[in-house]
Amino acid sequence: MPGRSRRVLIVEDEQLVSALLEQTLESVNFVTSRANNAVEAKRQIEAFDPDIALLDIDLGPGANGIDIAHILAKKHPDIAILFLTKFPDLRSAGLKMEDLPAGCGFLRKELVGNTEYLVNAIDNVLGERPQVRDDLRPDRPLSALTKNQIEALRLLASGFTNAEIARRRDTSVSSVEQLLNTTFKNLGIQPSDEINPRIEAVRIFIQAAGIPNREH
């Protein structure tokens, strides 16, 4: 791969993932710096002056990757933004398209084991070429579900009852039951004496998007 001297800020709270990304990018001549949370990221933005920020969406307690992205878009529009996240798409993270600043890339962590794929994604975002949007790929996990089904499934995976899901969605319990039954069907969960559809649906969601943060 051609030599590079571009600077990448990695904002990731999982130390192993962060270290692997750093090692991978430095092996192809990127200059890197790491931050574990939003406070460190803000400090590194000023001190390191990156060309691009790789942002995890979920950074634990405090500000998240979306918050950092909006700071960058407002105060440092010259810094490119590429989200690197466990979530298959924005819906599974409880987000909407308008929650992201314009021009951001979206890369799923599970797809970056290939160094060339990761580097090409960074190149595309830096060069303002065709958008890197793994969250729009038709083969992504949970792609068969609608926005409402994803939302209901995310609340279900948070441990909420049908009554609480109905309250949060401002609808009836029977509507939630119908929505969940359709969700189970779209996930390919068949009626069975061995499998509980509710638990199986939660298992599928967590496998695809991780355990959601419980909303208050």
Please write the tens of the pLDDT for every residue from 25-46: 999 999 999 999 999 999 999 9
CB 112 within 8 A of CB 118: yes
| Contact between residue 168 and residue 122 where contact means Cβ atoms under 8 Å apart | no
The single-letter code of the amino acid at 128 is: E
| CATH code, 175 | 1.10.10
Round to the nearest angstrom and report the end-to-end CA distance of the chain: 47
Q: Which residue among 136, 170, 193 closes a domain? A: 136
Q: How many domains does the chain have?
A: 2
- Greater confidence (55 vs 117) lies with 55
pLDDT of residue 2: 47
pTM of the model: 0.85
Quote the tokens at residue 10: 């990695």
Q: Give the residue-averaged pLDDT of 8-30.
A: 93
pLDDT digits (tens, 9 = 90+) for 60-95: 888 999 999 999 999 999 999 999 989 999 999 888
Residues 23 and 118 in one domain: yes
